[in-house]
Amino acid sequence: MSADGGEVRSAATRHGPAAAPRQAMAFALTHRLWATLAVVLPMAVFAAAAGAYSHITPLGQAPDEAAHAAYLGLIAHQLQLPGPGTPERQQPPLYYLLGAGVFKLTGGNLDAVRDLSVALGALAVLFAVLSARVLWPGRPGWWLLTGLVVATLPQFQFIAGSISDDAIANGTAAFLTYLLVRVLRTPATHRLQLWVGLGLGLAVVSKETDYALAAIVALAALVRWWGRTRRLAAVARVAGPALVVAGWWVGRNLVVFGSPFPHLRPAEVHPGLTTKLHHLSQLPSWLAISFHSFVGIFGNLSTPLQIAGDSRSVFHGIEVAAAVLALALLLAAWRSWSGWDGWMRLLALALALIPVVAFLQMLANSVLVDYQAQGRYLIVALPALALGLTFLARRIAQAVPVALACLAAAVLVAGVATIDVAGIQTVAFHLLNTPIVPGHLVIT
């Protein structure tokens, strides 16, 4: 008698034919509760932390927050998008359109616009959970883990508590990651093709950091659906929503700027002076700042995450942990490779490509346009990284005794909770720069 079925059969024998249906109903109820918890808990944790950052961070203390507020203020007050020579003109408009709507509806309340950012960040957590559900159906514990990995990154929480188009960029990136998993792990349907078109359109009007991920999704869909669906019909179903969502903005840019997208505007450290990543001697510092600001450097890159006033030891510990996890993940994927079908292999490669491409995109921008060692641009890869870490956790749980796995999970939860609380404390007690409050939010 199998271990999985023995208790059910013995219970049915003792208590009659009605026992098995009752146990099945109890199991279904427990599963639904777990599934609900797997969705609700990560979103609640994220919303609480991001809301705390939003409440305690002075306006203007997040990266480029004044410029982002001015962009949405231009829409709210003058009903126009920024033209040539205007700061942030290169940014796609979706976040600012939504923010301008919230700004007008709340009588000019910037805190309400920050709440919009928190809500968009919570959507990123939701789509990470949904991605895990596709990969591991019937295993809500792993959905929960994926959601918590995304929800508890301090830098993600901080940025999501500010006025910034990074909020919608990260939400759209999580949606694109979910679509990537759906494309490569589920059958092609008309509805899925429409969703892919919507995702590609949203990427175009969300932020440039989503463009590479959108290209990966489009390429995966092309490979997956080639020869398996009517090509012209599939192209129409994908292109239709994309054109509706983003076509108007591309057309407007052709008229105003003479190109599909506005040219990037480098930041000026002094009037007429910009900085770039010029030579290899700058690279170690650029890499360190990029990684640290992916984890938690708050304010305008002014205040690193710290515990008891110590940031160096905190980041060294995180660096070591990240290196160990990366090596373990590569080893686990290598050992699982032969057991995967071709599409699962392709999905693994595509998910691994997301952080690589996001990093190369940021590096190229620093070399060619503007020195930007800001790890927040890598948060678009966070759902893919979370899925990888969940896969690693599953492999470890299968390979070690249950007691050891539970101990490791407890240590992990304690460590993540400590870093999470430390981030909020860092902002509450050590973010000392003078706040910058944008005035009437009209660009002249």
pLDDT at 11: 43
Looking at the chain, how many residues does it have? Answer: 444
Instruction: Decide if 438 is inside a domain.
Output: no
pLDDT at 302: 84
SS (H, E, C) 244-260: HHHHHHHHHHHHHCCCC
How many angstroms separate the CA atoms of 210 and 169, rounded? 6
Domain count, the chain: 1
How many angstroms separate the CA atoms of 78 and 368, rounded? 33
pLDDT at 439: 44
Instruction: Decide if 17 is inside a domain.
Output: no
DSSP 292-345: HHHH-EETTTTEE--BTTB-HHHHHHHHHHHHHHHHHHHHHHHHHGGGS-HHHH
Q: Using the 8-state DSSP alphabet, how is residue 58 labeled?
A: P
221-225 — which CB contacts under 8 Å span 24+ positions? 221/183, 221/193, 221/196, 223/346, 224/183, 224/184, 224/188, 224/343, 225/183, 225/188, 225/193
- Residues 6+ away with beta carbon under 8 Å from 20: 8, 11, 12
pLDDT at 4: 41
Instruction: Decide if 314 is inside a domain.
Output: yes
Instruction: Decide if 435 is inside a domain.
Output: no
3-state secondary structure of 133: helix
pLDDT at 148: 95
Instruction: Decide if 420 is inside a domain.
Output: yes
CA 314, 317, 321, 327 torsion-angle sign = positive
pLDDT at 2: 38
Contact at 8 Å (CB) between 155 and 296?
Answer: yes
Instruction: Decide if 22 is inside a domain.
Output: no
Q: For residue 4, how many C-alpha atoms fall within 13 Å in the half-sphere facing its CB?
A: 1
From first to last of its 444 residues, what are the pLDDT tens digits of the chain?
Answer: 333 444 344 444 445 555 667 666 665 667 788 889 999 999 999 999 999 999 999 888 888 898 899 999 999 999 989 888 777 788 999 999 999 999 999 999 999 999 999 999 999 999 999 999 999 998 999 999 999 999 999 999 999 999 999 999 999 999 999 999 999 999 999 999 999 999 999 999 999 999 999 999 999 999 999 877 788 888 999 999 999 999 999 999 999 888 998 877 666 555 555 688 888 888 999 999 999 999 999 988 889 999 988 999 999 999 999 999 999 999 999 999 999 999 999 999 999 999 999 999 999 988 888 888 899 999 999 999 999 999 999 999 988 888 888 888 888 888 888 999 999 999 988 775 545 544 444 433
Q: Which domain holds residue 34?
A: 30-263+274-430
> Which of 266, 57, 42 has the alpha carbon at shortest distance from 163?
57
How many angstroms separate the CA atoms of 192 and 229, rounded? 12
How many angstroms separate the CA atoms of 305 and 425, rounded? 9
pLDDT at 29: 60
How many angstroms separate the CA atoms of 61 and 430, rounded? 12
How many angstroms separate the CA atoms of 322 and 406, rounded? 20
How many angstroms separate the CA atoms of 63 and 66, rounded? 8
pLDDT at 443: 38
Instruction: Decide if 368 is inside a domain.
Output: yes
How many angstroms separate the CA atoms of 113 and 125, rounded? 19
3-state secondary structure of 270: strand
Instruction: Decide if 18 is inside a domain.
Output: no
Q: For residue 397, how many C-alpha atoms fall within 13 Å in the half-sphere facing its CB?
A: 11
Lookup: tokens for 78: 């003058």
